[in-house]
Amino acid sequence: MFIVNSYSLAVLLCIITMFCWGSWGNTQKLASKTWRYELFYWDYVIGILLFSLILGFTLGSFGEGGRSFIPDLKQAELSNIGSAFLGGIVFNAANILLAASVSLAGMAVAFPLGVGIALVLGVFVNYFSTPKGDPLLLFIGVTLVMLAVIFNGIAAGKIKKNGFVNSNKKGIWLAVFAGVLMAFFYRFVAAAMDLNNFEFPEIGMMTPYSAFFIFSVGIFVSNFLFNTLVMKKPFDGEPTTYAAYFNGNFKTHLVGVLGGLIWALGTSLSYIAAGKAGAAISYALGQGAPMIAAIWGVFVWREFKGSNKQINILLVLMFLLFILGLSFIITSGGN
């Protein structure tokens, strides 16, 4: 299987993760013009599962290092399979809430707030489980990113439409709940892998490729519960049905699958890089995604169009703090 052997390559993969995690939401924005997000989400989940299989039978099976995809699945202990599967369930619950938040509050608000909270809590969870890197630099970086999230939240709260403050309270609260849940999914999957030795992993533990596949199965299976409930009792708008999903055209379905493929690419690279960079640093770098999402939201989707000077200053400070915070996180792993 493909194994990362240098910290610089691990950082590069995590940067790709950041771009993928911060960009998949664009597919939801594209589909939302004619398609409910609950229906989009089914295609998104299918895209994740499809990518995990493709990855397992390609990078997860080629090369001489480590165990290949199928043999690794066969030897995995039930407890580790269960941990990765639970990670998929936790992520799915969090991501459905985040998707609902995007539909209500916009991409530039939901992503920085939800994922920012997940970043801070998740780094603590992952670092203290498997310490790796300079803790001082790592937590300085996380603090700076959290300040960026706060500035973004203040800017979002100051947006005015027709003379009234548009705070999108329901969307904001959904983003908060999503962030808390999302802080824990990564650790469940990382716990199923031997992060200290991907080349000769401990018997019973999994490689990133098999762990990511089980994680994806957890997302897919749990979706029959979570997304069905949301379809019947949506956060916004009228209930929808499976008949509506199957009435969608091919291009609309393809957009959702593409969103899943983009997110899955980023997540799998993060786990592949975790063996060299450590779970906390890999997770933290990937969670720089709010900066990417905010750039899309501000400059492409024009979610802050008509903002006053004060809001623009807050947005600039947000971007600067994100960049500075990510720099500290990267440096922490090189010490």
Assess if residue 11 is contained within a domain.
no
Distance between CA atoms of 333 and 276, rounded to whole angstroms?
9
In a domain, 2, yes or no: no
Residues of the chain with pLDDT under 50: 160-167
CA atoms within 13 A on the CB side of 269: 22
Instruction: Please check whether residue 215 is in contact with residue 76, taking contact to mean a CB–CB distance below 8 angstroms.
Output: no
Looking at the domain assignment, is residue 126 inside a domain? yes
Strands (E), the chain: 160-161, 164-165
Q: What is the pLDDT of residue 231?
A: 94
In 3D space, the residue among 88, 126, 327 whose CA is nearest the CA of residue 225 turns out to be: 88
DSSP-assigned letters across all residues of 132-200: -S-HHHHHHHHHHHHHHHHHHHHHHHT-EETTEE---HHHHHHHHHHHHHHHHHHHHHHTTB-TT-SSS
Q: How many structural domains comprise the chain?
A: 1
DSSP, collapsed to helix, strand or coil, labels residue 217 as: helix
- Considering just the CA atoms, what is the radius of gyration of the chain in Å? 19
Quick one: pLDDT at residue 129? 82
pTM greater than 0.95 = no
On the CB side of 294, CA atoms within 13 Å amount to 29
Q: Which of 147, 1, 165, 151 is CA-nearest to residue 72? A: 1
Q: What is the pLDDT of residue 142?
A: 86
* pLDDT for the residue numbered 181: 92
Range of the domain at 38: 20-332
pLDDT of 167 reads: 45
- CB atoms < 10 A from the CB of 323, how many? 14
Q: d(Cα 66, Cα 166) in Å, to the nearest integer?
A: 52
Tell me, yes or no, whether 101 lies in a domain.
yes
Contact 22, 293 (CB under 8 A): yes
Alpha carbon of residue 168 to chain centroid? 22
Please report whether residue 114 resides in a domain: yes
pLDDT tens digit sequence for 96-148: 888 778 777 766 677 677 877 887 888 888 888 888 889 999 989 988 988 88
Q: Is residue 56 situated within a structural domain? A: yes
Angle separating helix axes 279-286 and 309-332, nearest 10 degrees: 160
Within-domain flag for 302: yes
Asked whether residue 260 is domain-assigned, the answer is yes
CA distances from 176 to 24, 77, 210, 218 (A): 19, 34, 31, 23
With CA atoms as reference, report the closest residue to 149 among 116, 187, 186, 100: 116
Percentages of the chain per state (helix, strand, coil), in multiples of 5: 75, 0, 25
